[in-house]
Amino acid sequence: MKYVDFVNMAYTPEEADVICTFFVEPKAISIEEAAGGVAAESSIGTWTELTTVKPYVEKLAANVFSIEGNIVKIAYPLELFEPGNMPNILSSISGNVFGLEALNNLRLDDVHFPPELIRSFKGPKYGIEGVRNLLGIHDRPLVGTIIKPKLGLNPPDHAQVAYEAWVGGCDVVKDDENLSSQKFSPFEDRLIKTLEARDKAEAETGERKVYMVNITGVTQEMLRRAEFVLDQGGEYIMVDILTCGFSALQELREQDFDLVIHAHRAGHAAFTKNPKHGVSMRVIAKAARMIGVDQLHVGAVVGKMSETRVEVEENREAIMAGMDDLKRVLPVASGGLHPGLVPALIDFFDTDFIIQAGGGIHGHKDGTLAGAKAMRQAVDATLKKIPLSEYAESHGELRTALQIWGSHM
């Protein structure tokens, strides 16, 4: 079979097919041959005709069934994939095809997974509803912070920053992506001291508080750390899902720990930022949802990250829209956020999301406690439909925050 033999514009996808949408930019061949090359190389074909393809193998060929400009849709028979094996699935649809000499660019923009394949994964254990039930918060966004500086603090100082954030009004405190178990902050010491600070903050505020400790590491160490979190009374873990890999993430989810999995997408832009080449964030989001994360960073529309409003909406939809019977994943907005951006965030996300601010809390000139109060005040004002400038007249922490960073709306 030649590349063009994988182009079948008369093909009607079956319900069980995996359907991929690609942006394909050929170098010196037609779009039809380029599209067929992607279909061939990601299913049963290669650069030359083969003598080893048996009749029963031919039915496993992927079919290019739509070409509109550079947008190509390819249907893959379900039998090409091992159920419950995300590394296998992604190695197939986003593997060697990206290195084809005949292509200038190739981007996997979207994937439709059939119900039979979706059901081979555990999916989220908690999801939005489970997280809200755990915290007892049902009518507003969750307010969170990342400990800053992201590296360098010793465990007592780390715990103190967390305590001030919680007492100020944060629901969530988390590690950043590159905090692990360095000499300045051994994992066990940091966890124990920060959970002690959590308990103290809960007793003083009467509110539930959670700590998302970063357990990212080699697989067996991740599992050991997760068990240690459980033993210490923790309820959350954070994982850098791309750098640890989907295999490790699946192994973690397979343990079915009573722990909410917060997925950090560190490194995603290496795959997602180029609009013509790589893998879109919504594909990564769908894969992470199937495996079973409960929360995922999706971008923020405002702030310091580069994703467009359309991209963030696509990411959000990937983890919240109907996907067989999978639970909805809680979106996390992060990256350069501060109290002045809260109205814009709520306007976009509504209330089902986490506002995850680092510098926008710890950069408050009166400290973390004041920064957390300012963020919570911004949420309260927005939900009451009171302009931030008006609410700030009687809330000094918010007033100072607006003086530092301004207001987006």
My answer on whether 150 and 222 are in the same domain is yes
- Could you give the CA distance from residue 374 to residue 248 in angstroms, rounded to a whole number? 38
Mean pLDDT of 150-162: 97
My answer on whether 151 and 97 are in the same domain is no
CATH code, domain carrying 25: 3.30.70.150
My answer on whether 371 and 391 are in the same domain is yes
My answer on whether 173 and 236 are in the same domain is yes
My answer on whether 103 and 188 are in the same domain is no
| Candidates 158, 174, 193, 264; catalytic one | 264
Residue where a domain terminates, one of 118, 140, 169: 118
My answer on whether 98 and 208 are in the same domain is no
- Helix (H) or strand (E) holding 72, with range, is strand 71-76
My answer on whether 155 and 239 are in the same domain is yes
Tell me whether the omega of the peptide bond preceding residue 149 falls within 30 degrees of 0, making it cis: yes
My answer on whether 174 and 293 are in the same domain is yes
Q: How many domains does the chain have?
A: 2
Residue where a domain terminates, one of 118, 138, 170: 118
- The neighbour count for residue 282, using CB atoms within 10 Å, is 23
pTM of the model: 0.95
pLDDT band of 1, cuts 50, 70, 90 = confident
Is 229:215 a contact under the CB 8 Å cutoff?
yes
My answer on whether 215 and 327 are in the same domain is yes
My answer on whether 40 and 99 are in the same domain is yes
- Helix (H) or strand (E) holding 33, with range, is helix 31-41
pLDDT band of 303, cuts 50, 70, 90 = confident
Mean pLDDT of 87-106: 94
My answer on whether 54 and 202 are in the same domain is no
Residue where a domain terminates, one of 90, 118, 146: 118
148 is catalytic: yes
264 is catalytic: yes
| Candidates 148, 262, 297, 362; catalytic one | 148
Is 198:162 a contact under the CB 8 Å cutoff?
yes
pLDDT band of 47, cuts 50, 70, 90 = confident
- Residue 182 belongs to domain spanning: 127-405
Q: Which residues, 6+ apart, have CB-to-CB distance to 293 below 8 Å?
A: 124, 239, 241, 249, 253, 261, 262, 263, 329
Segment 191-246, tens digit of pLDDT: 999 999 999 999 999 999 999 999 999 999 999 999 999 999 999 999 999 999 99
Segment 52-69, tens digit of pLDDT: 888 888 999 999 999 999
pLDDT band of 409, cuts 50, 70, 90 = low
